[in-house]
Structure 1
Amino acid sequence: MIQKTLYLLLFFSSFSFSQFDDLDLTPADSLMQEGKIKDAIIEFETNYQKGNRDTNYLYNYACALAEDSQFDKSFAILRESLDLEIKLNPLFDPDFLNLRTDKRWNSFEDELISKIELEYKTIIVDKEYAKKLWKMRALDQAYYFQIHLAERKIGKNTTVVNTLWKVKNNINKENLEKLEKLIQQKGFPKKSLVGNNAVQAAFLIIQHADLQTQKKYVSTIEDLCKKKEADSQSFAYLYDRIEISEGRPQKYGTQVKYNKENQQYELYPLVDKEKVDFWRKEIGLSPINEYLSGYGIKI
C-alpha cells in the first residue's frame, strides 16, 4: 500500500519489501499488516460509510479491494481517490497487479496518463515503453510484503517461505530478460522519453540482478545521469552496491547490513568518512548521519 507503506530497503538491500509505517496506522492498515484482507476491507468500508474521504485512506481501501479481487469496487474507490489527488502511483503499485488482469485496466491506464500529463503539464513521449516499465516495476516490488509476513508468522527457513522466494526469484529473472530485450530495441530508458518513475523500474530490476548485470549497465547509467536523463541518487546506490560486492569500501554510504549477533544495523566501510557528506550532497542525498539515524547508526 503506497500511501501507508515505507519502502525501507528500496535501493540498498538484497531485496525490497513494503512495510507499514507504524507511526501512522489506521485499524484497517493494521489488519492488512497481518494479512487479514477481508477483515481490513470491512474496517475500510465501515469508515467509508461514516464519511472518511481522505485520499490516502481511499487509495489504501482500493488496494485492499484489488488484493481481494473485488475489481468493480476497487476501480470505483481508486477513481474517487484520484479525483481528489492525481498521482501516477497506481501504474506501478504492486497492490494493483490483480487489477491489471481486468479488461478495464488499459482504458483506466490511458485515462490516468492523460490526466497526469494535463495536471503536471508534461508529456510522456514513449507511452508504450513507459507502460511496460511501470508493470515491471510493480512486479519487481511484488510479494516482498507477503514473504516478510510469512517469515514473521512461520519462520524464515520454512517450505512456504522458500517457495515464495523461488517464485519471486523467477519473477526477477523474467523481469530482467524483458528489460534487456526492451533496451536492445529502444535503448536504456530516459527521463525525457518515459519519465522518472519508469526509469526507476530499470534501476530496481538491475539492482536486484546479479553483479555481472549491474556492472554491465553502471557506466551507461552514469552517463545518463550526467545528461540528466537518469537519477543520480539511484546511481549512487547501484555504484556502492557493486563496490561492496567486489570487496571495496563504498563511496556514498548507502549500503548497510544487519548483524544478527548484536541485532543491530551496521554501515559497510567508507572510502572517506570526511568526504562522504560532500559526495552525497553533490548528488542530492541527505547527510550520512541523517540517513543512518533510521537504523540507529551514527558515525
Structure 2
Amino acid sequence: MKSMVWVVTTTVCIGWYTPLFGQTQYATPDTAYVRAVEKAFTSLKQGACRACLREYQRAFAISQKSAMSLLRAASCAYQCGPLEQAKTYLRKATSIDFWASEDIWNNPKEYPELAILRQSSLVKTFQNYIDQQKIAEGRNPTLERELKQIFVEDQRPRLQLDTIGKQYGFKSAQAQPIWEQMRQADSMNLPKIERIIRQYGYPGKRLVGEQQNETAWLVIQHAPLAVQENYLPLLQEAAAQGQLAKASVALTVDRIRVRNGQKQLYGSQVHNDANGQPIGFEPIDDEVNVDKRRAEVGLPPLATYAKHWGFEYKIPSN
C-alpha cells in the first residue's frame, strides 16, 4: 500500500443551539421568552449591554434552560461591568450543559458575540467551571487538553500535506518537507500516547469525552505495523465497551492486514498512483459483502467512501 494522508474532519452538533444568524428554535416556545431573547441578542450585537441584560433577565424569569443565552448574557454583563453577574451566568450555563457551553465557546466563527469573554480575565473561570462538571462525571479534563494538543500536532502536517499534495502532487518537491514534518510529529506523539495508555488504559469516551476519545487511536493508526498489532486488542476491547467507535478499529484492522500482504475486510485502504493520488482500493476479501461488514461497524457504503477520495466504485456482482 502506498502512502496515504489521513485527515480527520469533525462535525459537531449541539442540539437546539444554532449559529449566530439562524436561530429558529428556543429553550421554550413561550412567546414572551422568545421575544425577550431576540431583543437581548439584538442589543448585544449593538453593544447596548444594559438593554441586553434587562431583556435576558426577563427571559430567565420564564426559563433558564439555554446555555447559549446564558453565555450571551454573561457577555452583556461583562461589558456593563458587573463581573460577578457575568461569572454567575457562566456557572449556570456550564451547569445546564457544559458540553454545549464548551462547544459554543470554542467556535468563535459561529459565535463571535462571545469574543469579549474569550479575551477577558474570565477565560480561566469558565474553564474551571467546565472542569468541575467534567470531573463530576468522572472525566479527566487535564488529560483531555493533552490529547487535544496531540490531535492538533497529528493533524497539522496532514492538513498541510493534503493541500499541497492536491496542488502539486503528494510526491512533489513541495510536499517532501511536509512528509518529514509528519514523520517527526508521529515519532513525538507515539511515546505520549503510550505513556497515557500505561497510566489510564485506553483513554476512551468515559474518561475524555466524545471529542478526544479517538486521538489515541489516531496516533496508533499512524504508527509502525508492530505498534498497531500490539495495540489492536486494546482498541478492540475499547470498542466492545463503547469507549471507541467500531468504525475506527475497522480501519486499523484493514491497515494491519494490507501491511501484512492480506486482503482488507472493510475497504478503508486506498491504492494510489505514482503521484500519490488515490485511484482505487487495495484488494478486499469477500468483496460482494463488504458493505454489509461496513454497515455492521457504522461505516458508509463503499461507493460513498470512494467519492470522498475522488474516484468511482461499484461492488462486483459476484
Q: TM-score per shorter chain, which class?
A: 0.5 to 0.7
TM-score, scaled relative to structure 2: 0.57
Tell me which amino acid in the other structure corresponds to 2:6: S
Report the Cα offset of residue 106 of structure 1: 11
Tell me which amino acid in the other structure corresponds to 1:14: M
Per-residue CA distance 1:171-202 (angstroms, 9 max, x = gap): 11110011111111222212111113222101
TM-score, scaled relative to structure 1: 0.60
Q: 1:111 aligns with which of 113, 126, 130?
A: 126
Alignment gaps of 5+ in structure 2: 10-18, 23-67, 73-99, 108-118
Tell me which amino acid in the other structure corresponds to 1:266: G
Q: Trace 1:156-195 onto structure 2 (pairs within 5 A).
A: 161-195=175-209
Report if aligned partners of 1:117, 1:124 keep a CA contact under 8 Å in 2. no
Q: 1:214 aligns with which of 225, 228, 235?
A: 228
Tell me which amino acid in the other structure corresponds to 2:267: G
Q: 2:281 aligns with which of 254, 261, 267?
A: 267
| Distance in 2, Cα, partners of 1:244 & 1:105 | 51
Tell me which amino acid in the other structure corresponds to 1:211: L
Report the Cα offset of residue 206 of structure 1: 0.5
Q: Trace 1:47-196 onto structure 2 (pairs within 5 A).
A: 53=20, 86=101, 88=103, 108=123, 111=126, 114=129, 123=137, 125-151=139-165, 161-196=175-210
Report the Cα offset of residue 105 of structure 1: 11
**Identity rate, percent:** 24
The more displaced of 274-283 and 177-186 is 274-283
Tell me which amino acid in the other structure corresponds to 1:111: F
Per-residue CA distance 1:16-54 (angstroms, 9 max, x = gap): 3479xxxxxxxxxxxxxxxxxxxxxxxxxxxxxxxx955
Report the Cα offset of residue 113 of structure 1: 8.0
* SS of equivalent residue, structure 1 residue 253: coil
Report the Cα offset of residue 117 of structure 1: 8.7
Q: 2:312 aligns with which of 284, 293, 296?
A: 296
Change (3 A) 1:160 1:286: closer
Change (3 A) 1:206 1:110: farther
Cross-structure match for 2:5: 15
Structure of larger gyration radius:
2
Report the Cα offset of residue 203 of structure 1: 1.1
Report the Cα offset of residue 245 of structure 1: 0.9
| Distance in 1, Cα, partners of 2:147 & 2:225 | 21
Report if aligned partners of 2:221, 2:252 keep a CA contact under 8 Å in 1. yes
| Distance in 1, Cα, partners of 2:185 & 2:125 | 25
Report if aligned partners of 1:151, 1:161 keep a CA contact under 8 Å in 2. yes
How many residues were matched structurally? 218
Change (3 A) 1:232 1:53: same
Change (3 A) 1:291 1:156: closer
Report if aligned partners of 2:148, 2:212 keep a CA contact under 8 Å in 1. yes
Report if aligned partners of 1:124, 1:195 keep a CA contact under 8 Å in 2. no
Report the Cα offset of residue 153 of structure 1: 5.8
| Distance in 1, Cα, partners of 2:250 & 2:215 | 16
Change (3 A) 1:248 1:83: farther
| Distance in 2, Cα, partners of 1:134 & 1:155 | 29
Report if aligned partners of 2:204, 2:214 keep a CA contact under 8 Å in 1. no
Pairwise CA RMSD of aligned residues? 4.0
Change (3 A) 1:259 1:131: same
Report if aligned partners of 1:91, 1:134 keep a CA contact under 8 Å in 2. no
Report if aligned partners of 1:16, 1:144 keep a CA contact under 8 Å in 2. yes
